Amino acid sequence: MSNIILIQPKIGNLDSVNRHPALPLGLLSISRYISKDYNVKIIDQRINKNWRKELESELNKKPLFIALTVMNGPQLRYANQISKLIKKMSDIIIIWGGPHPTFYPESINNPYVDIIIRGEGEVTINELAKAIKSNTDLRKVEGISFKSKNDVIHNKQRPNVIMDSLPLIPLDIINLKKYIYNYKQNGKKISYSIFEASRGCTNDCHFCRNSANILSTNWRGFSAPNLFKRIRRLIDNFGINYFYFVDDNFFVNPNMIKSFCERVNKSKYKFQWIASGTVKKISCYSDEFYNELSKSGCKIIHIGLESGSQKLIDSMQKEKFKLSDVIKLNKRLRKYGIVPYYEILLGYYGETLDDIKKTIRLIFKLIKDNKDVQFSALHCLSLYENTKLYDFATKNKLLNVPSTNLESNDWSKAKIPWINKERKRLLERLYFCSLFIDNKHELVDSFLVRAFSKIYRPIALYRMKNLDFRLMFEHRLVHLQNIL
């Protein structure tokens, strides 16, 4: 049986403080078929300090190929470094999959990459493995781009998979204990992990990759019976009792959600879960629906708020909503014991200082109305090619670089072409302080981070509320310590 190596590159600084990173879900997902016919080995750079030694050992076994999952941001840099190292040690075929090659097919021109997988990879990598093993024509494999002598061949795009048709994730190919975060909650043991219930999104926010006209951004998900069956397996076999559905938009299909909650509530299975949705989708639910959500174990809903400025919301969102809807939703979720976790970004085109102040005021209004509310870090906008915002910026000659598909895309850094140095400094200070305004730190393994967060929270709240970042030595101190 041939060997296949799959590599999970590091993602960013948080890898250094989390002993239990999230499951390598992309690699596990593409292993659904190939794990039946090949020996699949996952090397995770986030948890294995001796990954180079392990890689060298696996290369000596002459694997069929090596595949890496790659997304924009710091991970792209790590993927490049790993691929370069592999090429120095071997002539093995290197394949890139994941968001980066999907949205940037030109990544096939990378000298350390031989083949890229565009879009969903479960069926594609299985067919690709068979073609490589039998040395047959790669032109027959849909969903890939590859180098052929001096040419680059972009094959036909593969249709999206039907989620219910996918085999179960082969968790036996990893040491699951290294990815499950265990902690105590009200005296009970919590075993926390991520899970994928759907893909894509119906709301093509102009800054989001889902606004790109790419097949894999279309929404589709598991049916309620199938989702419940897969959750039961993880509870029965692995003791997981807290799930984070890492979907872009879990709440697209209300009938599916209602059916799923009813199944959970009628069963013996008790677990907690987190999911993401849009203000408009979530606000339309009835009180009865919220009651079912709460009874089924829904504890947190990630909500794409993005800004406290109505002007910006109207310009960036497809599903329009009013800020008054957010304030009502914030109070309503508290009634049912569901924590709203708002996603917010800064640096959108046309954002003024007054817009930023409106966002800050809304944050403190939401905190006042709901003591349990949580927020994402105030992300600095990253521009991605093919999105509606990128196309607008290109058309209006707002970009001073030909491309944005490098590892420089980083939510903690303001690298937006239409803001000046003073605004850049403000956004990065706001990002830093927003890390500490709630209890996000509780799921971080590092005691040092948790202790710093608890002490620093009042200072962070003061700085944000008053936009007062004078003598902000702590930003540099923590950066040097590589705490965050």
Residue 193 CB: number of other CB atoms within 10 A? Answer: 20
Cα–Cα distance between 82 and 96 in angstroms, integer? 11
**What domains appear along the chain, each with residue ranges and CATH number?**
3-154 (3.40.50.280), 180-369 (3.80.30.20)
Strands 272-277 and 298-306: parallel
Tens-of-pLDDT digits for all 484 residues of the chain?
899 999 999 986 555 555 678 999 999 999 999 999 999 999 999 999 899 999 999 999 999 999 999 998 889 999 999 999 999 999 999 999 999 999 889 999 999 999 999 999 999 999 999 999 999 999 999 999 999 888 999 999 999 999 999 999 999 999 999 999 888 888 889 999 999 999 998 887 888 888 777 777 889 999 999 999 999 999 999 999 999 999 999 999 999 999 999 999 999 999 999 999 999 889 988 999 999 999 999 999 999 999 999 999 999 877 789 999 999 999 999 999 999 999 999 999 999 999 999 999 999 999 999 999 999 989 888 887 788 888 888 888 887 655 544 455 666 677 788 889 999 999 999 999 998 998 876 666 677 778 888 899 999 999 999 999 998 888 766 554 444 4
Cα–Cα distance between 464 and 308 in angstroms, integer? 14
- pLDDT score, position 64: 97
Cα–Cα distance between 74 and 127 in angstroms, integer? 30
Verdict on whether the full-model pTM lies above 0.85: yes
Strands 3-8 and 39-44: parallel
Cα–Cα distance between 329 and 332 in angstroms, integer? 5
Q: Are 409 and 382 in contact (CB under 8 A)?
A: yes
Cα–Cα distance between 5 and 69 in angstroms, integer? 11
Three-class SS of residue 97? strand
- pLDDT score, position 481: 43
Q: Are 374 and 380 in contact (CB under 8 A)?
A: no
Cα–Cα distance between 383 and 388 in angstroms, integer? 10
Residue 397 in tokens = 């000659």
Alpha helical stretches, state H, 67-218 = 74-89, 99-103, 122-134
Three-class SS of residue 446? coil
Give whole-number Cα distances, 180 to 191, 244, 300, 325, 483, in Å: 6, 12, 19, 36, 22
- pLDDT score, position 79: 96
